[in-house]
A and B are shown apart, each in its own frame.
Chain A
Amino acid sequence: MPDTPQRLAGLGVSQGRAAGPVVRMAGPPSLPAPRPVADRDAEAASVARALEAVAADLTKRAGAADGEAAEILEALAMIADDPMLREDAEKRARDGLDAAHALDAAFAGHRDALAGLGGYLAERAADLDDLRHRAVAHALDLPMPGLPAPGHPYVLVAEDLSPADTAGLGPDVLALVTERGGPTSHTAILARGRGLPAVVACAGVTGVPDGTVVAVDGVTGEISVGITAEEAERIVALDRAERARLAASEGPGRTADGHPVKLLLNIGSAADLVPGAEGVGLFRTEFLFLDRKQPPSFEEQVAAYAEVLARSPDVIVRTLDAGTDKPLPFLGLPDEPNPALGLRGLRVDRVVDGVLDTQLEAIARAAESTGTQAWVMAPMVTTVEEASEFARRARAKGIARVGLMIEVPAAALRARLLLREVDFLSIGTNDLAQYTFAADRQHPALADLLDPRQPALLQLIAMCAEAGAEAGKPVGVCGEAAGDPRLAPLLVGLGVTSLSMAPVSVPAVREELAGVTLEECRARARAALA
């Protein structure tokens, strides 16, 4: 280890600082070509050692867990310890397979047997896959796959994280650092939701050995490798003080010179609401429709919308944003070769009758029953004709304020004309970046193109904001960029009137804006566009 800490640079995607030992998460091991075996008994012995190590690791983790999690881990340990499985794998090694292939073959046999029994046992087949990965990794001397559970707080380092991985994150995780991923990856969104510092697209981080103490800066994206314990303590204390400062932050969004910028929430249901916000800038309604063979009834929708409308001022409800990119069973849409460019958002209404009209009516009824005004916007609007038709249908149902999401460059280019048809615009920077730069949001190698500071993206945002200022109508941002305290002044400088973000991001954005004047924001915007 060098005396001065080594620095790695990534993309900071979730604010906050943390310091602690690295624990790496490995992916499933891939089997190398079979290796000729000289000593078959030694190979059988490594088979047994691999299974014992897996069982011991699971038993240790079971001891640290409780309740159902502990029971599941104990049961897994017993399978790894299973005499039939071990004898089978040892026999294959004695017949001439190397340890990794002997284990792989033995697990495959039992896995298929369980899968063939169906039901509960078929589900256990996935457990066997997990155990197989662990045992094979041990035999190949690779790190154990799956979320680590070292039993102490740690900085989780991974190639990338899947939604399943991130759902299982325990309280021991201090920060997330991934080798790949971009600003709109699952890692980034999850980390912001949890208030965990996170850095993505950090080249070289998976080469840092387990146990190395690192500092993570979720704002600058810098990782300091091999810092001292004293330095780590200092960083943890600084982060704690910063969080305390933010926790005390309150009030409406303002620049240092008093220019108002509404700070709104992105929510999925009433459960996400937090007190003190100025409203909801994006109420995603998809949750009501998930896992449904039939759409939710009119009454069920009214109740869900009314719950949010009654509890928050100024709520912008987004109509169903699903399609072939986010399939919902009841829509019955066929697979498409290119879902991001296919039937999604408002476009679904071209082929599925009734869903949009029922939803608009339910929102209007919910507003009426709660004595509030309904603001409604449509996702994936592309042309002025689509905007005009959506506005007509929404107003016919009694929606007071009709708006559009700007996610398609074609719509941004026509912002001035769109604002003749509707009352407000809300810019979805994630999709607008994806479509402007022809770069898949999840593509690990294209993170730089999805950087919200890209001048072409900023220019489209500026066009929308200028059109809004001319028309005297609000233009907000509800993409991930809105919750980034470094970008908030820039967006305000471009003329954006509201920022809508994950509830956890509001205090840092509020404090950041309070420290800059409107003229400083504009200067940053001019510099970024130059």
Chain B
Amino acid sequence: MARRTVAVASASGLHARPAKLFVQAAMGVPAAVTIRAGDKAVPAKSMLGVLSLGAVHGTEVTLEADGPGAEESLDTLAALLARDLDAEDSSHA
């Protein structure tokens, strides 16, 4: 099992636009990634699941995946979480 732990960098947390961009990215990576905050783990492709983590700016979340493409999938998603997506213009999203 590959793992990455990242603090959510977006100002509004993992809600609204950042959540949408994260889930869209999760749909585009080869591995089935799980995102965990505290003891709650949900599929990264689930918008409702990601929202329900209630992750705010600075919350540490852990990404997990197995199998082919796991490492690169986690790298992509971890890098996204480490950016402040609220501060980026939507036309560059």
Q: Which residues of A contact B (CB under 8 A)?
A: 67, 71, 74-75, 78-79, 81-85, 110, 113-114, 117, 120-121, 124
Contact = CB atoms under 8 A, between A and B. Distances in A.
A78 B51 contact: no
Given A84-B42, A117-B54, A71 B17 contact: yes
B43 A71 contact: no
Contacts of A84: 42-43, 46, 48-49
Interface in B34-55: 42-43, 45-49, 51-52, 54
Contacts of A78: 20, 23-24, 47
B16 interface: yes
Contacts of B16: 75, 120
- Please report whether the interface of chain B is mostly helix, strand, loop or mixed according to DSSP: helix
Contacts of B43: 83-84
Nearest 6 pairs of A and B residues by beta carbon: A84-B46, A78-B47, A82-B48, A75-B20, A79-B47, A82-B47
A332 to B, nearest CB: 35
6 contacts: A82-B48, A82-B49, A84-B49, A113-B52, A114-B52, A121-B52
Contacts, number: 47
Interface of B: 15-17, 19-20, 23-24, 42-43, 45-49, 51-52, 54, 90
B20 A124 contact: no
Contacts of B54: 117, 121
Contacts of B24: 78
Contact of B48 (A71, A74, A85, A120): A85
A113 B42 CA distance: 14
A91 B3 CA distance: 30
Contacts of B48: 79, 82, 84-85, 110, 113-114
Nearest to A110: B48
Contacts of B46: 82-85
B15 to A, nearest CB: 5
A71 B85 CA distance: 14
B52 to A, nearest CB: 6
A75 B43 CA distance: 17
B26 to A, nearest CB: 10
Contacts of B90: 67, 71
Contacts of A110: 48, 52
B17 to A, nearest CB: 6
Nearest to A71: B17
A337 to B, nearest CB: 41
Contacts of B51: 114, 121, 124
A368 to B, nearest CB: 49
Contacts of A82: 46-49
Contact of B52 (A74, A75, A81, A117): A117
A339 B47 CA distance: 44
Nearest to A116: B52
Nearest to B90: A71
A315 to B, nearest CB: 44
Contacts of B42: 84
Nearest to B53: A117
A514 B25 CA distance: 66
B80 to A, nearest CB: 15
B76 to A, nearest CB: 18
A222 B20 CA distance: 47
A121 B12 CA distance: 12
B20 to A, nearest CB: 5
A74 B45 CA distance: 14
A113 B50 CA distance: 12
A74 B15 contact: no
B20 A83 contact: no
A75 to B, nearest CB: 5
B47 A120 contact: no
Contacts of B20: 71, 74-75, 78
Contacts of B45: 83
B15 A121 contact: yes
Given A75-B16, A75-B17, A121-B54, 13 more contacts: A67-B90, A74-B20, A75-B19, A78-B20, A78-B47, A79-B48, A81-B47, A84-B42, A85-B46, A85-B48, A113-B48, A114-B48, A124-B51
Nearest to A76: B47
B58 to A, nearest CB: 16
A82 B51 CA distance: 11
